[in-house]
Amino acid sequence: MNQRTGLTPESTQKFAFTGSAARTTDPISTKGDGVVLVRLWASTDCHVSAGPGTPSATTSDIPLSAGVPEFFLWPGSWKVSAIRQTADGSLWVTTCRSGSEG
């Protein structure tokens, strides 16, 4: 458990993004359709979106700054997509649980 956030990472998917949108191969969580806490961390500035099926991020979607973790509550069955702002990079998508969850 991270002492600063009180969160425990469960699983992480990493994928590369370029000027064309890329996405996670698998859904955010294998634990079903319930809402899960998701931490995103990007190596370069990018834009992200999430949704069922095959989401495709555009530069009009949520901006994510490089090196700054962001947290979202999304259905576990969704996938995450990213596209670069100016430089190619990678996105880490980590599901988390609170330290009090079993």
Domains and CATH numbers, the chain: 7-97 (2.60.120)
Mean pLDDT of 53-72: 97
Q: What is the predicted pLDDT for the residue at 6?
A: 76
Q: How far apart are CA 70 and CA 75, in angstroms?
A: 16
**Single-letter residue type at 61:** D
Whether the predicted pLDDT of 2 surpasses 70: no
Rounded percentage of the chain residues whose pLDDT exceeds 90: 75
pLDDT of 16-44, one tens digit each? 999 999 999 999 986 766 889 999 999 99
Whether the predicted pLDDT of 57 surpasses 60: yes
| Burial class of residue 30, CB neighbours in 10 A (0-12, 13-18, 19+) | exposed
Whether the predicted pLDDT of 12 surpasses 90: yes
Whether the predicted pLDDT of 79 surpasses 60: yes
Both tokens assigned to 86: 């100016």
